[in-house]
Amino acid sequence: MQYHNITKDDMLNGDGLRVVLWVAGCGHACPGCHNPITWDAEGGLPFDQAAKAELFTELGKDYISGITFSGGDPLFPGNREEISELCHEIRQKFPDKTIWLYTGYRWEEIKWLPFLDQIDVLIDGRFVQAQADPQLHWRGSANQRVIDVPRTLAANSIVLHDDK
């Protein structure tokens, strides 16, 4: 897996202060995307042990609420295995941290992925420029949903994070 950046002390991509891993690879090519440089799966840097150590150092800080995976698309087929492994490892090492994930896929397209039970909040759906709204919380366009994954899995029906 390749990545472009690790953002520290981020307040825009999830609840609380977070560390964000911006992965490479996205097949959606949404018009108006704010990060098209991340579309190329071969772009950026290899996600190696040094990058992982940097990520885990940030997650080890008491004031960090958790991690957010963004990109690109963390669920781009070439990223899924490593994202799955990272989610499991983070959940084991940092059980009190939350895991958020942004994807252009709809829940209905990916709900079968076996590691979704490791994710707390999933923001789904492609960015749609005609539905863009800077006033939306944690999403770029009105078609995207902020999904409470544990409650959705328990209910077998989509439960929005905003519904809490």
Q: Token digits for 53?
A: 């150590």
Q: What is the pLDDT of residues 128-153, one digit of tens each?
A: 999 999 999 999 999 999 999 999 99
Q: How many separate domains does the chain show?
A: 1
Percent of the chain scoring above 70 in pLDDT:
99
> For the segment 93-111, what is each residue's pLDDT rounded down to a tens digit?
999 999 999 999 999 999 9
pLDDT of residue 164: 44
Which structural domain, as residue segments, surrounds residue 155?
A: 2-163
Query: Per-residue pLDDT tens for 44-77?
Result: 999 999 999 999 999 999 999 999 999 999 999 9
pLDDT for the residue numbered 117: 97
Q: Which residues of 68-87 are buried (b: 16+ CB within 10 A; e: fewer)?
A: bbbbbbbbbebbbebbbebb
User: How large is the average pLDDT for residues 4-9?
Assistant: 97
- Confidence (pLDDT) at 26: 98
